[in-house]
Chain A
Amino acid sequence: MLLRKTKTYGSSIGHQVLTKTINQKLEGGLIIKLPFYFYIVILLFLLTFLINFFYVTKNYSFVFDNILKQSIKFTFFQAILSTIISIILGFILSICLYLSNFKRKIITTFLNFFFIAPVLFISYGVIFIHGSDGLLQNIFQFINLNFSYTFFGIIGIIYVTSYFNIALSANYFFRKLTNIPENYLKLMSANKISLYVALTRCLKPVVLNNLSILITMVLIFCISNFTIIYIFASSPLLTTIEMAIYQKISFEANISEAVIYGFLQTVIIILILIPTLKLRNNFQMITLKVSENYRIYQSNLFSSFFLIIFFLYFFSPCLVVIKGLYNFNIDLLFSKNTILSFLYSLIIAFSSLCIALMIAISSLFMARRLHENNSYLSNYVILSIFIISFVPSISLSAILFMINVHLNFILPNFLIVAFINSFLLTPLIFLFLFPKFMENNKFEKLRVLQFNISAVNRFTRIDFLKIKKELIVVSSSCFVLSMGDLTSITLFNSSSFKTVPYLISQLYSSYRYNDAFFILAIFVLFIISFLYMVNSLVYKNVKIR
């Protein structure tokens, strides 16, 4: 009895302390907030530049010309089509994977890799198989089958764009399926509920929760698929806004129009994004008690058949790596050009990752601090990160190109590319770390106030340890994404400054296919080894189910 009384007394004191202290505000941590302030200053600078630019520009008649109308029409046509295909196929793939006997870790690694795989690798891999002189055409010729087809144009664009987005959608749905509460599975198993009824009725909210965010993300990725359009667009009619921006800068040297096109694309993307942001009250994800090894549905003939088709689709471009290694060229590998390209790729990937990490973590800290202090500004911090995340790289490139022209090219190109890439990476890091960073924040705030833990100590001793694993995973993925990016480098390259993707693209454009495939193979192997090393480091002591 005495023990019971003490317990009750203790808990009531705890409650009183909680209610008393919860209204107190947390303070300090300026040094952690600095990168976010810096980021806001840069945003304001870009905005000021744009306002000034619009004020000076007098003639906007070109905005209504047919090129732009056609670009917008095609951008949306291919993006909507690709989004629909990707999400439907992603859903089917996730079910096939869920029913399969593959280990969960293998499935997520496979899906993660194909989401972050360099666009150039997949594009050239697809051309290697389906191109006019590709593997399939050679096989057809060998067996005297007179069947020719071209993979360039809308089919190629949709095929390659869907590649990344199917992986993203499948990953999203697969996580949902493996996060079904264990008791739901038991309930379904005991009542013999078919997979169809389970998905359409019982688990509908589990599967459809946050679907609007997935649709928006996929749609925006499809709108911003510059590299794919750059490689696969076969006619001037198949031009997206991003390509129009590139053409304005590269071929017409008309930076003003490019900046306005970039601004237009940004506005379109923000308009797509706002309803999704409004639909969500917060970004916190619900964590349920789940079982990783409890299975009630088994694979069947259909799921196995689809799985084989999907594997062929995903792994066929990898043949380009074998082809590349077959054309081993040691002179090319150790040439100054290749070594410099690798070096610049590493420098850019590292710098952009550092910038993105600083901004993302600082923004996370700011968002949580404001949330804990019950400030409505918390949502604006999140909004500022998300809006800037969807400013397409090419639009940002156009604006920075213009600024650099005004500054007499004072900014080095590699810094601009790193900066542009960091904008792409910041929201990914933010989104990935957000749930973990916000975990138990209400109770943590209480402890921070009770034990007078400084902001820096909380960050280094509590937050950092909490997010360490996720931080390594997301950093490695972002590093690879930045290394494989071809968007901004197409505008900011020079004879002495190029990255590996640009080098591959140059070799390919000058009809040195074997050399291009060789460098591509080395690049892909480097990326796979890097990811494998990081993965082993993170899961070193974890038993895999």
Chain B
Amino acid sequence: MLKLDKISYKNVTFSAEYTFNISESGIYALVGESGSGKSTLINLISGFLNIHSGSMSFKNKSLLDLSPSQRPISTLFQNYNNFDHLTIFENIILGVDSKMINNNINRNKVKSVMKKLSLEMDMFKTVSELSGGEQQRVSLARCWLRNRNLLLLDEPFNALDPGLRKDLFIQLVKMHEHNKSQITIISSHFLDELVDIINGVIFINNGSVYENKILQYKEVKDNLDFKKYFLGSF
């Protein structure tokens, strides 16, 4: 489904080359040391960074000629996912209507997705009035409404407390159940928290994917290289 073949990227301080293939839909964890190139990978797939060489395709269609808005992708970051001064409605509808028009059809769409994510509040509240967890749920709602087949999450819940994180992982699973053909890649430092929901692990080491393949959680846990990453040089 999602195939990256020697996708390379270079800038003044960093160079990376990624190769891997995800053949089944599901949720995948993206782990690696800080600065190893996790965000770069997400930015390359999303189209926010230009690749140097290589090929990248999703469902056998090349992604390289498509602009970020044309790619079948929704992306979520750790912060600045919402425009704080805009309302919940505007931030959610943005995913499907860039003019954010307030009409019945759009309101119903937002209302429905808010209900699915247990966001039971006035949709015309500004996002700045919400808590951190609620704000991220608004971002998730936008991704849900956008309903793209690739969902990329760049450490989206790291600033939240463990309880909230768990709650949002449950919402993520709900989302995935809604669109079974979706591939979700979630970058995180807390692999243990994801163990129950992930189908595989992409381990990034010094700008490349470890052994150029998707690993299973058990493989990661038993490997001494990964222990070093999770526990430090002991």
A contacts, CB < 8 Å to B: 3, 181-184, 186-187, 189-194, 197, 201-202, 204-205, 294, 543
Give the distance to chain B from A288, nearest Cβ to Cβ, in Å: 8
Do A197 and B98 contact each other (CB < 8 Å), given the known contacts A3-B232, A186-B68? Answer: yes
Can you give 30 A-B contacts (C-beta < 8 A)? A3-B232, A181-B80, A182-B80, A183-B77, A183-B80, A183-B81, A184-B83, A186-B43, A186-B48, A186-B75, A186-B77, A187-B81, A189-B48, A189-B67, A190-B46, A190-B69, A191-B69, A191-B94, A191-B95, A191-B98, A192-B98, A193-B94, A193-B98, A197-B100, A201-B90, A201-B100, A202-B83, A204-B85, A294-B48, A543-B12
Given A183-B79, A197-B98, A189 and B68 contact (CB-CB distance below 8 Å) = yes
In the complex, what residue of chain A is closest to B85 when comparing beta carbons? A205
With A and B bound together, what is the CA distance between A184 and B67 in angstroms? 16
CB < 8 Å: which of B47, B73, B80, B95 contacts A184?
Answer: B80
7 extra interchain contacts, Cβ-Cβ under 8 A, other than A183-B81, A187-B81, A201-B100? Answer: A3-B232, A184-B83, A186-B77, A189-B67, A189-B69, A190-B68, A201-B90
Q: Is the interface of A mostly helix, strand, loop or mixed?
A: helix
Interface string of B49-84 (1 = CB under 8 A from A): 000000000000000000111000111010111011
List A contacts of B68 (CB < 8 A).
Answer: 186, 189-190
B-to-A contact residues, CB < 8 Å: 12, 43, 46-48, 67-69, 73-75, 77, 79-81, 83-86, 90, 94-95, 98-100, 232
Q: For residue B81, which residues in chain A have a CB less than 8 angstroms away from its CB?
A: 183, 187
Which chain B residue shows the least CB distance to A1?
A: B231
B contact residues around A204 at 8 Å (CB): 85
Q: A201 to B80, Cβ gap below 8 A?
A: no
Which 6 pairs between the two chains have the least Cβ-Cβ distance?
Answer: A183-B80, A192-B69, A189-B68, A181-B80, A183-B77, A190-B68
Within the complex, the shortest CB–CB distance from B142 to chain A, in Å, comes to 8
Nearest A-chain residue to B96, judged by Cβ: A191
Q: Which residues of B contact A189 (CB under 8 A)?
A: 47-48, 67-69
Chain B residue at smallest Cβ distance from A205: B85
Q: Are A194 and B85 in contact (CB under 8 A)?
A: no
Inter-subunit contact A190/B80 (CB<8 Å):
no
Q: How far is the CA of A197 from the CA of B83 in the complex (A)?
A: 13
Chain A residues contacting B47 (CB-CB under 8 Å) are 189
| CA of A205 to CA of B48, assembled, Å | 24
The answer to whether A186 touches B46, judged by C-beta atoms less than 8 angstroms apart, is yes
* Docked pose: A158 CA to B231 CA in angstroms: 68
| CA–CA, A202 and B83, complex, Å | 6
Question: Which A residues touch B98, using CB under 8 A?
Answer: 191-194, 197
A382 to B32, CA, bound (A): 48
- Report whether B73 and A190 are in contact in the complex, using a CB–CB cutoff of 8 Å: yes
* List of A residues within 8 angstroms of B95 by Cβ: 191
- Expressed in whole angstroms, the Cα–Cα distance for A473 and B85 within the complex equals 35
What is the CA–CA distance of A378 and B73 in the complex, to the nearest angstrom? Answer: 50
| Chain A residues in 8 Å Cβ range of B46 | 186, 190
Q: Which residues of A contact B86 (CB under 8 A)?
A: 201-202
A197 to B99, Cβ gap below 8 A? yes
Question: Nearest Cβ distance between residue B131 and chain A, in whole angstroms?
Answer: 19
Task: Tell me whether A187 and B69 are in contact (CB under 8 A).
Answer: no
The answer to whether A190 touches B75, judged by C-beta atoms less than 8 angstroms apart, is yes
Question: Smallest CB-CB separation from A189: which chain B residue?
Answer: B68
- Chain B residues contacting A543 (CB-CB under 8 Å) are 12
Query: Closest Cβ of chain A: how far from B190's Cβ, in Å?
Result: 14
Chain A: minimal CB distance from B143 (Å): 10
Q: Find the residue from B48, B67, B86 having the highest chain A CB count within 10 A.
A: B48
A187, B80: Cβ atoms closer than 8 Å: yes
CB contacts (< 8 Å) of B73 on chain A: these are 190
A187 to B48, CA, bound (A): 10
CB distance from B34 to the nearest CB of A (A): 15
Q: List the B side residues contacting A194 at CB < 8 Å.
A: 98
In the complex, how many angstroms separate the beta carbon of A367 from the nearest chain B beta carbon?
29
